[in-house]
């Protein structure tokens, strides 16, 4: 056997010859192979595990076997005693020496820049590369003969063990450094931010640190706690945004600030306190201390963004809707926003795009990456304002459209937010006009045995956004309303469900004892106005992009997660598209925040992408009004919806002037 051994690493394919007795981890570092290690090769963290490939490898000219590595060391035995046996064939690369030619496989979980595979295949895998990393070092004790400060000796140790040079340190680190070194008997774990700044020091070996990804919505705040070493979500929690008491929608909160000096300070204080309560929930669920959370990443709409960071939002309340900043918020101390996590933790917020297109939309873009694709993608986040993104790798446009709160149940006579007892699904028999429905909290339809018993505790309290979409679409399919949204009053003679309501008519959805839920003509109009605003915004962006179709539609947020896309298209809420290419993308804004938390390269990516997004202000576009008028019809006055018609037979147009005229619409071909 020669004095040098050939070591081949897979999957990278990197190879080199090393003297016998060289530790595998040392060989890997010499070749630039991606192997994780927090403890610096001291056998404490167990992250540097590798697998010996057994057999002949003609491609490499190597016969590889276990005997070409040193026997299990005392360090490995000590680690196994503390953490359990290593999996068969695995070794700690830091304490295993090369004794002959060998092929070493580095499993994904041992790679620093490991891939986190997302569930949705159309989204690129995420390379784990958090901006905060842990490094364990042993620091030389002070010596009268070699005077140097504790900080200098710590930096020297980080340079020697980890090749980290030119590091800076916050004063808060220096304040805690001497105590940490002495409690740890000169062994400490250091958190380094962006390979440039020491942000935390713990005595001894600190194996894990965590980060928060937070979506600050106008109604709810949702957060995920992630292990920065593995990318795993270890806890999730949500809370209502307490700013609701100052106004349910964004503009009413801006109005509150305008009418009440200091109102912005009040709203900033309550949202920050809610974040601290949410942080405690996350830490308790994960069984960790809040001081182990060293970073937080935020997404939010522009008004929530400004209030979170203590910026008065009044300029966003009127034209030209000027943002205070369209750059990312980076490098803040957590204490600067009163967030009670590690006192030296860092804060990052994705950039806002325009006055009503915020960092939450940037999060959606980062999650869905339309800027990589050839297909024309439409991304819609429906709320009081609908944020719309359209485009592909060549060009990306964004706008907001004032849909109002109708889709959230407001402005609807029996509308409510999604909660137990709210109607979420509706079907109407085309012959009898009798409805059946499902409510949140019960799996049964209203015409199934046991429904009354199952819903006795909650009752039937109203109708939420998804139910509103379906009931209006079903009323159209069954001929209760025509394409102009007019309720057919002549049906009063044949169905008790159609009743006079002043000068117009209403459709009775529920009539049980004292509880009557009706869809009035005003309700239909409110939904038409909301859906027309959204559709007009989309058509405007399609016009600007120069396309007459979209290839894929992603519906973001809680609303997008619960609506039936077929009914959304019947109503004319979204443009025509193959139905199998339309779907929910969940809380894509929160997913974008999590991506930014776990990958510093993706932060740079979204910052670059946002700078290239073209912002379209719908209010000043002369064609918007005509698009809006045409979109008031169901599903649309002119657009033919060929893909939708392959699944649904839509009613023939009915002349609006004659409210008694009625054409019975055929039903969905698909099973109900």
The DSSP code sequence of 346-408 is EEEEPPP-BTTB-HHHHHHHHHH-GGG-SS-EEEEE-SSSEEEEEE-SS-EEEEEE---SGGG
Q: What are phi and psi of 2, to 5 degrees?
A: -70, 165
Taking Cα atoms as reference points, which of 109, 118, 115 lies closest to residue 366?
118
pTM for this prediction: 0.82
In three-state secondary structure terms, 492 is helix
> At residue 2, does pLDDT exceed 60?
no
Strand partners, 6: 17
> At residue 54, does pLDDT exceed 80?
yes
Domain spanning 4-110, CATH architecture: Roll (3.10)
Listed in sequence order, the DSSP H helices in 247-347 are 250-259, 263-286, 302-308
Q: What percent of the chain has pLDDT over 70?
A: 93
- Where does 502-643 show beta strands of DSSP type E? 504-512, 515-520, 552-556, 582-586, 614-615
Q: Where are the domains of the chain?
A: 4-110, 127-203, 210-349, 359-672
CA gap 355, 367 in Å, rounded: 21
Domains 4-110 and 210-349 share a fold: no
Which band of pLDDT confidence, cut at 50, 70 and 90, is reported for residue 513? low
pLDDT, one tens digit per residue, over 314-345 is 998 888 889 999 999 998 999 999 999 999 99
Which band of pLDDT confidence, cut at 50, 70 and 90, is reported for residue 117? very low
CATH of 127-203, one of 3.10.20.880, 3.30.530.20, 3.90.79.10, 2.60.40.10: 3.10.20.880
> At residue 666, does pLDDT exceed 70?
no
Strand partners, 519: 507
Better-scored residue on pLDDT, 389 or 502: 389
CATH of 210-349, one of 2.40.160.20, 3.40.30.10, 3.30.420.480, 3.40.50.300: 3.30.420.480
Q: What average pLDDT does this structure show over 201-224?
A: 93
Q: How does the average pLDDT of the chain come out, rounded?
A: 88
Which band of pLDDT confidence, cut at 50, 70 and 90, is reported for residue 165? very high
> At residue 247, does pLDDT exceed 60?
yes
CA 33, chain centre distance (Å): 32
CA gap 295, 134 in Å, rounded: 13
């Amino acid at each position: 056997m020669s004095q040098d051994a050939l070591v081949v690493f897979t999957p990278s394919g990197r190879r080199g010859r090393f003297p016998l007795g060289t530790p595998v981890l040392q060989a890997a570092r010499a070749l630039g192979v991606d192997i994780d290690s927090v403890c610096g090769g001291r056998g404490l963290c167990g992250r540097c595990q590798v697998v010996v490939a057994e057999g002949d490898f003609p491609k490499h000219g190597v016969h590889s076997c276990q005997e070409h590595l040193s026997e299990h060391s005392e360090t490995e035995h000590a680690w196994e005693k503390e953490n359990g046996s290593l999996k068969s064939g695995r070794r700690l690369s830091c304490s295993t020496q090369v004794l002959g030619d060998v092929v070493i496989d580095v499993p994904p979980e041992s790679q620093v820049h490991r891939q986190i595979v997302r569930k949705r295949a159309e989204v690129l895998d995420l390379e784990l590369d958090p901006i905060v990393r842990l490094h364990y070092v042993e620091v030389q004790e002070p010596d009268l003969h070699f005077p140097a400060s504790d900080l200098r000796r710590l930096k020297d140790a980080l340079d020697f063990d980890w090749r980290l040079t030119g590091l800076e340190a916050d004063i808060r680190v220096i304040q805690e450094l001497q105590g940490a070194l002495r409690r740890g008997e000169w062994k400490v774990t250091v958190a380094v931010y962006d390979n440039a700044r020491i942000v935390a020091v713990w005595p001894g070996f600190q194996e894990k640190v965590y980060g928060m990804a937070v979506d600050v919505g106008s109604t709810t705040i949702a957060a995920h706690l992630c292990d920065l070493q593995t990318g795993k979500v270890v806890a999730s929690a949500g809370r209502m945004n307490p700013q609701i008491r100052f106004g349910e929608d964004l503009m009413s909160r801006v109005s509150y600030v305008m009418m009440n000096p200091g109102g912005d300070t009040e709203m900033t204080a309550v949202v920050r306190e809610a974040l601290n309560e949410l942080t405690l929930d996350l830490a308790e669920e994960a069984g960790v201390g809040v001081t182990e959370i060293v970073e937080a990443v935020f997404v939010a709409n522009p008004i929530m963004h400004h209030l979170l960071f203590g910026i008065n939002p009044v300029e966003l309340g009127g034209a030209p809707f000027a943002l205070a900043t369209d750059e990312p918020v980076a490098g803040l101390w957590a204490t600067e926003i009163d967030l009670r996590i590690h006192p030296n933790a860092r804060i990052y917020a994705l950039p806002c795009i325009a006055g009503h297109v915020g960092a939450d939309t940037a999060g959606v873009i980062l999650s869905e990456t339309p800027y990589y694709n050839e297909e024309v993608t439409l991304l819609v986040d429906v709320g009081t304002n609908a944020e719309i993104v359209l485009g592909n790798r060549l060009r990306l446009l964004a706008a907001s459209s004032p849909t109002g709160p109708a889709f959230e149940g407001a402005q609807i006579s029996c509308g409510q937010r999604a909660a137990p007892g709210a109607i979420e699904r509706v079907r109407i028999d085309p012959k009898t006009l009798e409805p059946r429905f499902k409510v949140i909290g019960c799996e049964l339809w209203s015409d199934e045995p046991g429904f009354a018993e199952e819903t006795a505790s909650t009752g039937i309290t109203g109708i939420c956004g998804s139910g509103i979409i379906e009931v209006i679409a079903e009323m159209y399919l069954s001929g209760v309303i025509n394409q102009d949204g007019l309720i057919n009053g002549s049906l009063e003679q044949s169905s008790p469900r159609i009743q006079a309501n002043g000068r117009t008519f209403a459709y009775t959805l529920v009539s049980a004892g004292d509880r009557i839920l009706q869809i009035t003509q005003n309700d239909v109009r409110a939904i038409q106005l909301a859906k027309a605003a959204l559709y007009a915004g989309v058509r405007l962006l399609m016009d600007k992009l120069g396309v007459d179709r979209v290839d894929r539609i992603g519906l973001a947020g809680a609303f997008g997660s619960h609506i039936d896309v077929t009914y959304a298209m019947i109503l004319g809420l979204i443009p025509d598209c193959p139905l199998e290419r339309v779907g929910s993308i969940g809380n894509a804004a929160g997913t974008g925040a999590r991506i930014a938390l776990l990958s510093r390269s993706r932060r740079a990516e979204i910052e670059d992408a946002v700078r290239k997004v073209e912002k379209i202000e719908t209010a000043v576009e002369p064609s918007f009004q005509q698009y809006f008028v045409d979109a008031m019809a169901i599903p649309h006055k002119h657009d033919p919806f060929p893909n939708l018609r392959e699944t649904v037979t839509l009613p023939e147009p009915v002349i609006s002037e004659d409210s008694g005229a009625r054409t019975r619409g055929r039903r969905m071909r698909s099973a109900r």
